[in-house]
Structure 1
């Protein structure tokens, strides 16, 4: 099955997650391509989609959100779709409010996407922050006392968890007839 793993990534951490997912899907026998959302002009020819974005301040990057909205009709047409977000940083599992860090990190757009394109799953993965790659605006935010707390440096991505999710997608793709969403009951 031909799978597009589209990503919106500012500094490369989300791109690396997308590439890892595409590699795992390819290992499982699917034809998977990881591509930046800006490089995808047409969804024709793909039979499944995994779409991810980096998350900043509780929202997907504009490029990722625009991609889903622009392709809403195609993504809602019946092929399997999965979404992922990359963003929370650090090793804490619960936030100050006592909720799970990732549960509270679901981006604002995901509710809209669930309603409009009906993805099979949405996963939030921990991200990575390399201060040497930060742009001017993000360096300014990082320089603030609150910025240092909100933006800890390091690679917090859980590769085994990402691999497990990609393998689950590969399994669902193998079980889903073309034109039926993964996870949908068969008649």
Structure 2
């Protein structure tokens, strides 16, 4: 089984998740590689795909959504899993499984490519890597609460999800 893990990341958090997923799949004896959408990978060259994007303002990044739309016929014929990396942390009483956190594009993708699953993972924020717009937001009184510094990714959760993918693909 040959799997591509495609991602679009703005500041590196989503790239880190994609690379971790590919690494964990390889530990399950699944051939896997992580590739940025910027390299214009061809999902048709692989048996399965995992596709993820950073999420901003309730949407996947444009380039990630476009690679799904552009390859919808090929993706609909293969096992596909989707992940989103976005919230840094949640209000008490909410979880990443909350339907409110699902990016707007996911409903469309469910209809078009029929992914096996979609998962929302917490992200990470390093203020030193932010672009001008996000640095300015962090200077606002509510900005630091909106964009808290830290790594909130739950690697155990990501590894467990990836193990489910490996099992679905028939890996030991």
1:35 aligns with 2:30: no
Question: Structure 2 stretches of 5 or more lacking a match?
Answer: none
Distance 1:28 1:101, change over 3 A: closer
Map of 2:52 onto structure 1: 52
Point out the structure with max Rg over C-alpha.
1
Instruction: Provide closer, same or farther for how the CA distance between residues 59 and 130 of structure 1 changes in structure 2, counting only shifts above 3 A.
Output: same
Is this contact kept in 2: 1:88–1:102, CA < 8 A?
A: no
- Structure 1 segments unaligned to the other structure (5+ residues): 176-187
Q: TM-score, normalised by structure 2?
A: 0.94
Give the Cα–Cα distance (whole angstroms) in 2 for the partners of residues 150 and 168 of structure 1: 32
Equivalent runs, 1:1-187 vs 2, <5 Å = 1-77=1-77, 79-90=78-89, 92-94=91-93, 99-100=94-95, 102-103=97-98, 104-174=100-170
2-structure distance, mates of 1:4, 1:174: 16
Aligned residue pair count:
170
1:72/1:116 contact within 8 Å kept = yes
SS in 2 for 1:145: coil
SS at match of 1:44: helix
SS in 1 for 2:6: strand
Conserved? CA contact 2:96–2:122, under 8 Å: no
CA contact (8 A) 1:92 1:101 kept: no
Cα drift, residue 147 of structure 1: 2.0
TM-score, structure 1 as length reference? 0.86
Moved beyond 6 Å, runs of 4+: none
Q: Is the 8 A contact 2:35 2:41 kept in 1?
A: no
